[in-house]
Structure 1
């Protein structure tokens, strides 16, 4: 993205936010579509590729995909101003809204959509409920950054999701798959999930890049100062986040390409509640945060962390409990197939909707530079 540009009423009309995005950012949906297509073709045409990618795993996720995720998340977390996190944690309204959206409304909405739209497909329904329980701790940082959200707020909310995920995932799985269906007279499904398995996923995909980002900023600022760190170092590593995202998408869809392309009608059935979920969660969060008087950067951070899901964990749980060829696993795989283009589209909607929010404080970067153009 281009450097920060002050917006005025007249400037906003003549200099739209989208026109200030870099070529890479502006056409990101195209690059992601190409990456998905390449991955699907590789998985479909190259025999044994899925087995090769899955041969070595980190936290129940293919090692190459794990590397892609770490590369993707590191530059974003290296941008966080950790000395300003105290201002974020003091915002109890934002923290409360995020917890409500992520851990009360999100799982409940996915449960309702799964039962309403897939009443005759119990395996896919269960898989979607698992996706709804796995709150996002990875790609949401990319979407938030592209939408000019508050990086510090997003980092805190992602960390809160990580802690809640370790503590609450197994309990919520039991509640939504056994207890609540029993109360409603619906079919019940057992879910045996290891708390340590969830903790490993969080430690790998959030803990490692978070520690690396913190150490990089601390040591970099101590050695060369904040001006050098933010004006020289960050633009150099910035593009790695988007390249890591595209690399991860190629590998993810290569790993599951045959499964997706061999069952197109099932994929379409699963896609409908997923798409409804992402739109409703993001839209509802934006409306709620605007009603609460949030500025745009924090409203964006809350909305994208509410709409995104940790599909790595959802896929790992579905495969571990129900098997790699199960309908539950297929539902988990379809998750990123729909989530990635849906949330990329919502980035552009978010940038457009910025005009409806009160001005951000002067200390917040109106249009942060992701470094994609450097």
Structure 2
């Protein structure tokens, strides 16, 4: 994410030239999670202080971290190239099917298989499955050398679907389907406006800022200056924002996580299966429909990633900050972050092994095979 550009991560000849931040990313993320857990556990009143001021149900420090995290990546998108993505119907339809049909159904099944005796955690996991990716997935995609413009389009589509479908699917998977199957029923109180407001804040604002920055930056100073001088300066802030967000998230729920280690393990197991199956499914679909590496990778990561910010906000607003549903939401990034970071490295290995002909130093839009 920092200079050199993320696309260079895949090139074996220049791995040694990566910044310390990029080279040891898994370590920094693990350190951020540990720091957050320790702060939340041993600093009295810290959780209340972090959660004291909120933006749309999310504490102000976490909200700021998310906005800082999103802006640099969205400032890198070449918005004049988006039409080449929207014309790829295979990619768009596959992403919609994976995210809005297969993903929620898979999480519902895994939640009932692994947590049939723990209704609060089960409900929390189902909410996580309904909240499709709009944030961190852009970073994982960028690090794995996916198609940046395709990721922006797919995230935008997920955002639109989220506004209209989250509450409807929540009603279906938490109330209707369990009743049809003879299971215990639950409920969720989240209106399309509530979801839309969250999407507008955490995606719309950094998206607008990124677009305006590129538009006026290129218009005033030119594309060469913008990409060679400006982007390397703001690039590292995406990972700074990511690490700060992780610390704040785990500090907020540190006491619950460390006080219930076995429950965390119970919640983690279906999440591990879910992320693995969604990512593998994305790769299989991408290969079957003839996408190249960049767009196959983007399809896989946008399918595997989840909008845990929204899931946590809905769980807290509906069931309370100390509820089992909220704990399940917080365990989501606890598992998602290290798993998807690991899958970044798997993706780069797959690229070297099965797509050796693709240009290893280019992260611009590439047409599907």
TM-score by length of 2: 0.93
Query: 1:177 is matched with which residue: 174, 178, 191?
Result: 174
**1:62 and 2:55 matched:** no
Deviation at 1:23, TM superposition (A): 3.1
Within 2, Cα distance between the matches of 1:21 and 1:295?
Answer: 25
Segments of structure 2 that go 5 or more residues without pairing to the other structure are 365-369
- Contact 1:148–1:367 (8 Å) recurs in 2: yes
Segments of structure 1 that go 5 or more residues without pairing to the other structure are 369-374
**After the TM superposition, which of the residue ranges 185-194 and 329-338 deviates more from structure 2?**
185-194
Query: 1:366 is matched with which residue: 345, 356, 362?
Result: 362
Query: 1:139 is matched with which residue: 122, 136, 140?
Result: 136
**1:290 and 2:280 matched:** no
Deviation at 1:26, TM superposition (A): 2.4
Superposed CA deviations along residues 128-159 of structure 1, whole A, max 9, x for unmatched, are 00000000111001100100011100000000
Q: Are residues 21 and 285 of structure 1, via their aligned partners in 2, closer, same or farther at CA, if it must alter by over 3 Å?
A: farther
Aligned counterparts, 1:214-363, within 5 A: 214-355=211-352, 357-358=354-355
- Contact 2:148–2:363 (8 Å) recurs in 1: no
- Contact 1:296–1:359 (8 Å) recurs in 2: no
Within 1, Cα distance between the matches of 2:189 and 2:9?
Answer: 52
Aligned counterparts, 1:22-171, within 5 A: 22-171=19-168
Residue aligning to 2:195: 198
Within 2, Cα distance between the matches of 1:209 and 1:193?
Answer: 24
Deviation at 1:322, TM superposition (A): 1.3
Within 2, Cα distance between the matches of 1:319 and 1:6?
Answer: 38
- Contact 1:271–1:338 (8 Å) recurs in 2: yes
Within 2, Cα distance between the matches of 1:217 and 1:82?
Answer: 8
Deviation at 1:355, TM superposition (A): 3.4
Within 1, Cα distance between the matches of 2:172 and 2:207?
Answer: 31
Deviation at 1:300, TM superposition (A): 1.0
Deviation at 1:22, TM superposition (A): 3.7
Superposed CA deviations along residues 161-188 of structure 1, whole A, max 9, x for unmatched, are 0000000000001111111112212111
Within 1, Cα distance between the matches of 2:15 and 2:217?
Answer: 31
Deviation at 1:366, TM superposition (A): 3.1
User: What is the RMSD of the two structures over their aligned residues, measured on CA atoms?
Assistant: 1.9
State the aligned residue count. 361
Within 2, Cα distance between the matches of 1:145 and 1:277?
Answer: 22
